[in-house]
Amino acid sequence: GGQFKREVTVDGQSHLLLIREEAGAPDAQFASWADAVIFVFSLESESSFEEVTQLHALLSDLRGTSDLALALVGTQDKISSSSPRVVEDARARAFCGDMRRCLYYETCATYGLNVDR
C-alpha cells in the first residue's frame, strides 16, 4: 500500500485527491472513511478479476456502496500472444453495471492509454 496526492480539476473546480493504496481486503475503518474506490485488475488474469468481485462484495457488506463513487480499471500492459487477454470487455462492463454508478476504463501505462482519465 501507499499514499499519493494529486490535484485534479472537475467542472472548473480544483480538488486535492488523497489516494491510499490498499494491499488487502477492506476493513470497517476503511469502509467508514472512503469517498471513492477504484478497483484495479489485470485483463490477462482471471484471478485478479475474481478478487475484485470479492473485494466489492466485502465492501458492500461493510458499508454498502450506494454513496461511493466507484471505478473499475482493467490494465493491459502485459497482453501478448504468450499472455492473452482473458477478461473480455463485455464481462467487465457487466460487472461494472452490477456495481451501479461505476465508471469503467481499460488502461495501458506503457502507451499512456486512459491513464489520466
Tens-digit pLDDT profile for residues 25-62? 778 887 888 888 888 999 989 999 999 999 899 988 98
Residue 40 lies in a domain: yes
CB-based contact 113:81 (threshold 8 Å): no
**Type of residue found at 67:** D
- Parent domain of 47: 24-107
30-34, 94-98, 100-104: range with highest mean pLDDT = 94-98
Residue 63 located in a structural domain: yes
Number of structural domains found in the chain: 1
Q: Is residue 80 part of a domain?
A: yes
Does residue 94 lie in a domain region? yes
- Say if 8 falls within a structural domain: no
The pLDDT assigned to 95 comes to 95
pLDDT value, residue 19: 77
Is 0.75 topped by the overall pTM?
yes
Is residue 3 one of the residues assigned to a domain? Answer: no
Q: What are the residues facing 73 on neighbouring strands?
A: 40, 105
The verdict on residue 114 lying in a domain is no
- Measured between alpha carbons, how far is 2 from 49 in angstroms, rounded to an integer? 21
What is the CATH classification number for the domain harbouring 50? 3.40.50.300
Evaluate if residue 8 carries a pLDDT over 70: yes
